[in-house]
Amino acid sequence: MGDEASWTFYGFRTGGGGRIVQAWFDDLSDAEKDEIRDTLGYLQQLHLSEWKYPRFEPLGNGLSEIRFKVGALNIWIRIYGMFWPPKERFSYTLLHGSGKKAKNDRRGKKEATRRKRLLENNEATIHEFEF
């Protein structure tokens, strides 16, 4: 594969097997899903150094967000995530998805941080995300 980037996206899975982010994604409108597919498909082919604002922003403590704007609907969506599993190159795990209603989504960040901790403590797992 050489030096080409080809990211794999995973979703958070609870200790009980719930695929929370997958369920959230599956319930979105077709336009919202299409925008997420397009943006992640674009990022999938880039090296991390090319993941930049406004699509991507590191938030600190290993947490980051990917943002999506749904065209004519003028809706902003964000997905919080982390580079996980740690030993797998070009892998990113989606921890929490939400609509961007507030300038600073404290509740979403807090939930993503909680899920990040569960993964790090082996109290949750991941699954390959289905777009």
Whether 3 is in a domain gets the answer: no
Query: Which range of residues forms the domain containing residue 60?
Result: 8-128
What distance in Å separates the CA atoms of residue 97 and residue 81, rounded to the nearest whole number?
A: 9
pTM (predicted TM-score): 0.92
Q: Does position 131 have pLDDT exceeding 70, yes or no?
A: yes
In a domain, 26, yes or no: yes
**Residue 97: inside a domain:** yes
Q: Is residue 121 part of a domain?
A: yes
Q: Looking at the domain assignment, is residue 2 inside a domain?
A: no
Assigned domain for 16 exists: yes
Token digits for 65?
Answer: 């967000």
Judge whether 63 lies within some domain. Answer: yes
Residue 95 forms part of a structural domain: yes
Q: Given pLDDT bands bounded at 50, 70 and 90, which one contains residue 1?
A: very low
Edge-to-edge strand order for the sheet containing 91-99? Answer: 56-60, 63-70, 75-82, 91-99, 8-13, 125-128
The tally of domains found in the chain comes to 1
Q: What is the per-residue pLDDT for 118?
A: 98
- Each residue of 19-48: pLDDT tens digit? 999 999 999 999 899 999 999 999 999 999
